[in-house]
Structure 1
Amino acid sequence: MPLNAVDVQLRPEPVSADPIHTPARATVERSQLTAFTRALEASTGQRFASHAALHDFSVREFPTFWQSVLRQSGLLVGGSADPVCTGESCEAATFFPNLSLNYAENLLALAGSGDAERPAITACRAGGERTRLTRGALRENVMALAGALTRLGLAPGDRVVAVTRNDAKAVTAALAVAATGAVLATAAPELGAETIIARFAPLAPRLLIAHLEAAPHDTGAPLAARVAAIAAALPSLELVVALDDGRPDAAMVVPLHRMEALARRGRSRQPALPHFAFNHPLFIMFSSGTTGRPKCIVHGAGGTLLEHVKEHRLHCDLRPGDKLFFHTSCAWMMWHWQLSALASGVEIVLYDGPIDTAATLWRIVAEERVTVFGTSPPYLRLCETAGYVPNAELDFGALRAALSTGSILYDQQFRWLRDCVKPMPVQSVSGGTDIIGCFLLGNPNLPVHAGECQSRSLGLDVQAAPAGDAEGSVGELICANPFPSRPLGLFDDPDGKRFHAAYFAARPGVWTHGDLVEFTPSGGARLHGRCDGVLNVRGIRVGPAEIYRILQGIPDIREALAVEQHAGQAEGERMVLLVALRPGAALDAALAARIRRDLAQHGSAAHVPDAIIQLDALPVTHSGKLSEAAAADAVSGRPLRNAAALRNPSCLDALRRHPALRPASAPLLAGQGVGQDLDLYLQALWQALLGYAPIDLDDDFFELGGHSLLAARMLAEIRRTTGRELPLATLLHAPTIRLLAAAIRDHAPAAASRLIELRGGDPSRPFFFVHSMAGSVLQMWALARALTCERMVYGIQARGLNAGEEPHGRVEDMAGEYLALIRAVQPRGPYALGGFSFGGLVAFEIAQRLRRMGETVSFLALLDTKVDKRFLPIGEWLRLQRTRALHHVAALRGLSAARRLAYLAERCAPRLGVRAGAAERDRSHAELPPALQRIRSGVIAATARYRPRRYPGKITFFRAMTGERVGFDPVSIWRKVARGGVAVHVIPGDHDSMIARPNAEVLAAALTRCLKDA
């Protein structure tokens, strides 16, 4: 494995055993989920002893489950509910092909004579103005406008686009369009005209609905002018409907009608609403577009409605009498999600205006007696960092639950809501525009654990691939079964190729969502960010979500983005942390030092950024989400892939010019010698390497985020300025400036031994540990410090680290030399041996030789050691080839013809003997010193040549919980060769992160127990 390759991001979060909220027994008894479960038990004859059992049934027998949801929902439908679903895969399935309905009719249905007078909408505007509509008034307005639009020629399937504020008129217009069978796509006024045109133009719409009046919080060009520009850019447009009395811009050339006038003309005739097929298109949603042209995602009426009804009633327990306020805009799918709550008799509260202070939304919650409030982590973070305590001034007696989505809701924000608002269930929900619903969300019957989504969405087989349902393992969120709210496809994608490439190419027939998720012992889930946001710096993979979680503990940081800088072949990759700070804070040495210390101590060395840059604002999309893609383009000097997708692209101008992004071309301390004070020189060197100050003389190199690559650069600089040649292992015993200075002052020649004492203990019963591909044992520092065994622990380093040595290229040669080193320390057995990754092969060969010499090997530990795939048992080899073939076929499906050829050429080159230059062949190791590169090449050659032979003893195998996406089971071959059997211990993390904190503590505890018994 690569030097210091620490995949720290795919690591489980510690889970608190104590929930932050537990529902009362009475709450569980009266929840709609309980009523649904009992009805399902009665109809199926089954008993569901837990929610896990209910969810298992809902995905295993999903046709029965969805038929029950439909039957108990009371939705107004026509036709037959049989069959429930045709097709077995998620990609090919179709739900309720013989059913018909009208989405708007179901949202406007009146349950009884008094239902018409119940409230439906309260629309709030900045400044305090309120508009209130009853269910009866909303129904009348929608029916009148729908009739008028039909008479104007709007037909089922026509595309309608809307640029609307979040108010009652926008809701009326949206439902009127749905009532006619036309298809609606929405945008918010804060989006720029170019961004909106990029989304709307491919749809060839017939009708544009828009607000025209200016608002005090508007920015940019006047709204009427932007609407005119949009209309001019849509040649298919036949009509504009203005929702207010705003004056149209002089450039408006399309005929314009006023909604109020149209509705007046339509009130006289209100025919019954027609039904359309269950899978008739309803909404077109747009992806963010930060990595290219936005996808136009088509959602069906029936699937959208049924999924929303299930989520609202069963997961959120929304019912008549509830008031739902979800802070959103018409450009976000949560606007459509809250709209559907009308079908459950819920009153929805809307807000159009800015967030002037931390109190803005909480005042609406209190004044309107909101029962369920939906918000986002950035708003909660704003409230927390502002020191705002809402319950100190506002009454939340009506509020019973809070929802949050849009990004990860961290543990601290759960606790802030409990302490500063009120104790209540907090639902972190996750899904997205792609499915217009949720994969993970709340549950009224289950406890709430800080940092977790409570449960998977019923009926959806949500897993963490490749880990499946394994607890404590992070994987990519997938849905393995069909579900009704899967989009119908992408607009203007007749053969479905783009739809397949977007969601099914990675795993045929299985929805792949792109989020990283971890399922916890409580049955909940933790989110770890996006798969495509994972950083890969010098072979180290780091998930930004874990960095953001740690930074939550630093009050001065308002927002942060961690991105990868590609600085060219010579410089390799760097991690850059961008921060926006609270008012009055500054990125001084003390704050930078705290950021690095916290990331190193609560994460690992790989979490520590190479550069920290303060910006006034970070790039966000028009839906308010931070854009890692845009920031990554800026720090790497690339043109933005889609500047129009950003709300504030100008914030990147200062970033591109920032001096911290310039590559270092001179020595770290050019022109500076050691001078009179070695301590001060080393302090300056460490501060230059680690990128912040001050560093104390007794600070620990590894605790500060140092790693083996930084160590190699540091010792090379020390050699250049002092002439002292120090081995890498020096830092294991001299990890502070004070101790390192003492080692340099000791003029005795530095020991060049390949046998390094990693930990003191009983020298008569040592444990010998062989290096990995890194060559040095420096990467084992976390494990060495965590071990608590009584034995002396030695690390064996590779030949080639010291000047004048040539690395070995065969496992047998390494074993012969290392065995001599071992016997010089311990002449007789029993012996205890181990090795990480490649080191396990060498330890295994040493054990073979000791056995042949008549010696006893009491303990042989292999830490996730693999063999070359050529030596796998035939069954495992065939399984691997099949898995790899399916992987490549899936990858090729989503590529153009030209890219397919490039993909095949790249993967066939090694088999054909084609070799690119060193930098092209392995750019992730371009920064390795030449000696380490030579050792690595020797290890690769040795691995390819070595076939393990029969071994008469026992092997103890420590396996990483998270395997490779396209890999094989290494235990199979060890079971075949070890006659004494193989004992397997599963360690959290993947191959690299299992030896990094905090997983190293788990590994060390397991090793300590085994060594005690050996």
Structure 2
Amino acid sequence: MTQPQWSPTPEAIDTAKITELTRWFVAHSGLDPAAVGDYGRLQEWSVAQPGAFWAGVAEFLDAGFVDQPTAALTGTGIRDAEWFPGATVNFADRLRLGAPSQPAVIVEYEDGRVESHTYEALRGDVAAFAGYLRSVGVGREDRVVGYLPNSYEGVVAFYATASMGAIWSQTGIDYNAPAAADRLGQLDAKVLVSGTGYVFRGAEFDRSAEATELLALMPTVEHTVSVPTLPGAAGVDGAVSWAEAIAAGGQPDFQPEPVPFAHPLWVLFTSGTTGKPKGIVHGHGGVLLEQLKSLALQSELTAGETFFWYTTPNWMMWNIQVSSLLFGATAVLYVGDPIYPGPEKLWQLVDRHGVNVFGTSPGQILASAAAGIDVPECAELRLISSTGSPLPAAANQWVRSVFGDRVPVNSVSGGTDIVGGFVGGSPITPVWDGEISARTLGVALEVWDDSGRPLIDEEGEMVITQPLPSMPLRFWNDPDGSRYHDAYFSTFDGVWRQGDWATLTSRGTVIMHGRSDATLNRRGIRLGSAEIYAAVEELPDVLDSLVIGIDRTDGGYWMPIFVVPSESWEDGESERRIREAVATRASKQHVPDEVILTPAVPRTRTGKKMEVPIKRILLGADPAAIGSIDSTDQPEALRWFQSFAADHPVN
């Protein structure tokens, strides 16, 4: 059997928080003692006994229930599951755990400015802003929305909103006004918290005009609070300044209001790459338990540690980032381009702030490797996590070449759907390069073929067969639940289909192959795009790539690969190397029909390649009509593909 490329030490396994919890389950819930130190056994039990598992997480990690539940789980399936009926809690309450003088939020800007805010200041600002919201008539389940960069004020506004039982939602300030309104405008919000601009890649972007237009597109907004995120920018005329709002809130005590376990916390939006974004409503209790599990157990985050995940407010990793505050940790926020002026930028930040847990993307790791940068010591770093797309084996290998066995890489895959991970690593699971270590605790994940037959060591649809506390309460504006059903349950009755194509291996690891709606199917053989990217993007000739498969009306199948060439590109020879690498690393079936040079590969604002939208554009769709223009910060790249499609009709 192939040995893992990284393994935890026996001492690390014995002292891990996840092992402590296993011993607790042995003592309190009848778990077999053989499960101690055995992740696979614990994971299997967590799925077989979901009520007992999640009740244990809530008690062992102190979820902070005010009113106790009458049960952990009732209902007979995913759709009618009810978690912790009778319990009351507030997501914001655990902000109490941070020591008063400890930094709670550190914000670093691309231009080098750094600001730091203690837990004492954070709790005071959260209480004050909640006081302001109450003073302007905001009550439970009213909506407060943000149009912001990655800012301290956004963290305060979210926690203040949550603390009083109102509902938070936001978009990044880089969205144009109509795109932001497509999301936030659905919510009939009372209050808009808007920044004034941002800096990215060395340039300043004054967003005052966009914020003003957004306000005009949301007629229900009664009050606007302006946050000076770009010095000198005017913001929205007539808005209350952030400082005025904090002062108006007074100096109340930090007292989050207990709400029912399933009380709505926030609305997150799908990417909108293939249609109008759907609003996903999550609840206080479910999100809290998911973060307790994923951060405290899977990542072993503890009080006093420093947590940094490069993200923007457009991505659910922003929500994970601010959830690190539930543990008394320090959250580091970065505002700017992660690889400007070079890919060493984030590593320098990790070193400078003593980051313990660093979350990033495969692209950032591979860009660092390709550039041959000098990585600082990062002496406090103990874990790197990666998500957004499948992590190639080469990325793990480069990290080991820099840090040795001191810093493992946990590849994680999850979704906005549950604000967490379906699969990932843990302090007690080995790492195999190119694979994800395990199914996360409590996740009943299987891989099925089209007929619903479970598969092992074969590629298929990733499904979830048991409920999870952080599954959506509902979709916004979906009174009969039909949109929610169509999104997850229309393929397999009573079983959640995530829309990812995966392989569950016989040793319990998971290999992600990309979105199943972008699966390549050539001559009846389904192919994963991730295998092609892993082969092609290791070549020095290639900076980025995108592979698409299209069924032609004549019965043929066209599978080109679009390549962003590097400076070392050689006509003819580089194309030969691509075909040879794909045939060798993947299979001859994976070799593309054509290699086409392109100036850029469009990605969503969360870093995912836009395979499905590009496929639709090549088939004649207008990028604006299918919502893709608003879902990327590279609209010119989409227009290139539209022009290409006009000159090279597929059918």
Query: TM-score, normalised to structure 1's length?
Result: 0.61
Deviation at 1:249, TM superposition (A): 8.2
**CA separation in 1, counterparts of 2:630 and 2:394?**
34
Instruction: Give matches, 1:297-308, under 5 Å.
Output: 297-308=280-291
User: Which is further off, 503-512 or 637-646?
Assistant: 637-646
Segments of 5+ residues of structure 1 without an aligned counterpart are 1-15, 666-1014
Q: Which string of whole-angstrom CA distances, capped at 9 and with x for unpartnered residues, describes residues 627-683 of structure 1?
A: 012221233333222232232222233334449973699xxxxxxxxxxxxxxxxxx
What's 1:846 paired with?
none
Structure 1 residues 448 and 251, CA gap change in structure 2 (3 angstroms) = closer
What's 2:104 paired with?
120
**What is the aligned-residue identity percentage?**
32
What's 1:414 paired with?
396
Deviation at 1:46, TM superposition (A): 2.8
Q: Which string of whole-angstrom CA distances, capped at 9 and with x for unpartnered residues, describes residues 484-513 of structure 1?
A: 000111000000011001011111221110
Does 1:57 find its partner at 2:42?
no
Structure 1 residues 571 and 122, CA gap change in structure 2 (3 angstroms) = same
Structure 1 residues 512 and 240, CA gap change in structure 2 (3 angstroms) = same
What's 1:635 paired with?
618
Instruction: Give matches, 1:182-581, under 5 Å.
Output: 182-215=166-199, 217=201, 222-244=206-228, 252=236, 255-270=238-253, 272-354=255-337, 355-356=339-340, 357-390=342-375, 394-423=376-405, 424-466=407-449, 470-565=455-550, 569-570=553-554, 572-581=556-565
**CA separation in 1, counterparts of 2:178 and 2:278?**
16
**CA separation in 1, counterparts of 2:516 and 2:200?**
39
Does 1:92 find its partner at 2:80?
yes
Instruction: Give matches, 1:891-906, under 5 Å.
Output: none
Structure 1 residues 615 and 158, CA gap change in structure 2 (3 angstroms) = same
**CA separation in 2, counterparts of 1:74 and 1:663?**
59
Q: Which string of whole-angstrom CA distances, capped at 9 and with x for unpartnered residues, describes residues 703-726 of structure 1?
A: xxxxxxxxxxxxxxxxxxxxxxxx
Greater relative contact order, per chain length (Cα 8 Å cut-off, separation 6+): 2
**CA separation in 2, counterparts of 1:223 and 1:445?**
46
Deviation at 1:194, TM superposition (A): 2.1
Segments of 5+ residues of structure 2 without an aligned counterpart are none
Deviation at 1:214, TM superposition (A): 4.6
Q: What do you get for the CA RMSD once the two structures are aligned?
A: 2.3
What's 1:852 paired with?
none
Deviation at 1:48, TM superposition (A): 4.1
Structure 1 residues 587 and 514, CA gap change in structure 2 (3 angstroms) = farther
Count of residue correspondences: 640
Structure 1 residues 247 and 373, CA gap change in structure 2 (3 angstroms) = closer
Deviation at 1:374, TM superposition (A): 0.4
Structure 1 residues 216 and 34, CA gap change in structure 2 (3 angstroms) = closer
What's 2:93 paired with?
105
What's 2:3 paired with?
18
Q: Which string of whole-angstrom CA distances, capped at 9 and with x for unpartnered residues, describes residues 741-760 of structure 1?
A: xxxxxxxxxxxxxxxxxxxx
Q: Decide whether the 8 Å contact of 2:208 with 2:234 is kept in 1.
A: no
Deviation at 1:218, TM superposition (A): 8.0
Q: Which string of whole-angstrom CA distances, capped at 9 and with x for unpartnered residues, describes residues 860-910 of structure 1?
A: xxxxxxxxxxxxxxxxxxxxxxxxxxxxxxxxxxxxxxxxxxxxxxxxxxx
Structure (1/2) with the larger strand percentage = 2
**CA separation in 2, counterparts of 1:502 and 1:477?**
14
Residue identity in the other structure for 1:374: G
User: Which is further off, 214-223 or 404-413?
Assistant: 214-223
Deviation at 1:245, TM superposition (A): 7.2
What's 1:155 paired with?
139
**Secondary structure in 1 matching 2:97:** coil
Q: Decide whether the 8 Å contact of 2:126 with 2:254 is kept in 1.
A: no
Query: TM-score, normalised to structure 2's length?
Result: 0.94
Structure 1 residues 571 and 72, CA gap change in structure 2 (3 angstroms) = closer
What's 2:632 paired with?
646
**CA separation in 2, counterparts of 1:251 and 1:372?**
35
2:573 to 564, 587, 590: 590
What's 1:609 paired with?
592
Deviation at 1:209, TM superposition (A): 0.8
Residue identity in the other structure for 1:154: V
Structure 1 residues 528 and 64, CA gap change in structure 2 (3 angstroms) = same
Deviation at 1:563, TM superposition (A): 0.8
Q: Decide whether the 8 Å contact of 2:540 with 2:568 is kept in 1.
A: no
**CA separation in 1, counterparts of 2:334 and 2:204?**
21
Structure 1 residues 608 and 46, CA gap change in structure 2 (3 angstroms) = closer
Deviation at 1:298, TM superposition (A): 0.6
**CA separation in 1, counterparts of 2:649 and 2:101?**
68
**Secondary structure in 2 matching 1:215:** strand
**CA separation in 2, counterparts of 1:517 and 1:451?**
13
Q: Decide whether the 8 Å contact of 1:285 with 1:298 is kept in 2.
A: yes
Deviation at 1:295, TM superposition (A): 1.0
Does 1:662 find its partner at 2:645?
no
Please say which structure displays the higher CA radius of gyration: 1
Residue identity in the other structure for 2:103: P
**CA separation in 1, counterparts of 2:481 and 2:268?**
17
Q: Decide whether the 8 Å contact of 2:563 with 2:595 is kept in 1.
A: yes
Q: Decide whether the 8 Å contact of 2:618 with 2:645 is kept in 1.
A: no
Q: Decide whether the 8 Å contact of 2:542 with 2:569 is kept in 1.
A: no
**CA separation in 2, counterparts of 1:250 and 1:335?**
26
Deviation at 1:271, TM superposition (A): 6.4
Q: Which string of whole-angstrom CA distances, capped at 9 and with x for unpartnered residues, describes residues 590-634 of structure 1?
A: 001111122223333321222211111111122222101222123
Q: Decide whether the 8 Å contact of 2:124 with 2:251 is kept in 1.
A: no
Deviation at 1:545, TM superposition (A): 1.7
Deviation at 1:219, TM superposition (A): 6.9
Structure 1 residues 173 and 337, CA gap change in structure 2 (3 angstroms) = same
Deviation at 1:93, TM superposition (A): 0.8
Residue identity in the other structure for 1:417: V
**Secondary structure in 2 matching 1:197:** helix
Residue identity in the other structure for 1:493: D
**Secondary structure in 1 matching 2:55:** helix
Q: Decide whether the 8 Å contact of 1:147 with 1:271 is kept in 2.
A: no
**CA separation in 1, counterparts of 2:373 and 2:269?**
35
Q: Which string of whole-angstrom CA distances, capped at 9 and with x for unpartnered residues, describes residues 2-45 of structure 1?
A: xxxxxxxxxxxxxx822221112221122110110101100023
Structure 1 residues 165 and 660, CA gap change in structure 2 (3 angstroms) = closer
Q: Which string of whole-angstrom CA distances, capped at 9 and with x for unpartnered residues, describes residues 545-589 of structure 1?
A: 22112223312212111112455x34733111111133x133610
**Secondary structure in 2 matching 1:79:** coil
**CA separation in 2, counterparts of 1:332 and 1:364?**
21
Residue identity in the other structure for 1:654: W
Q: Decide whether the 8 Å contact of 1:79 with 1:100 is kept in 2.
A: yes
**Secondary structure in 1 matching 2:500:** strand
Q: Which string of whole-angstrom CA distances, capped at 9 and with x for unpartnered residues, describes residues 110-161 of structure 1?
A: 37xxx21222111111122111122121111111111111111111101121
Residue identity in the other structure for 1:98: G
Structure 1 residues 482 and 404, CA gap change in structure 2 (3 angstroms) = same
Structure 1 residues 166 and 213, CA gap change in structure 2 (3 angstroms) = same
Structure 1 residues 501 and 593, CA gap change in structure 2 (3 angstroms) = same
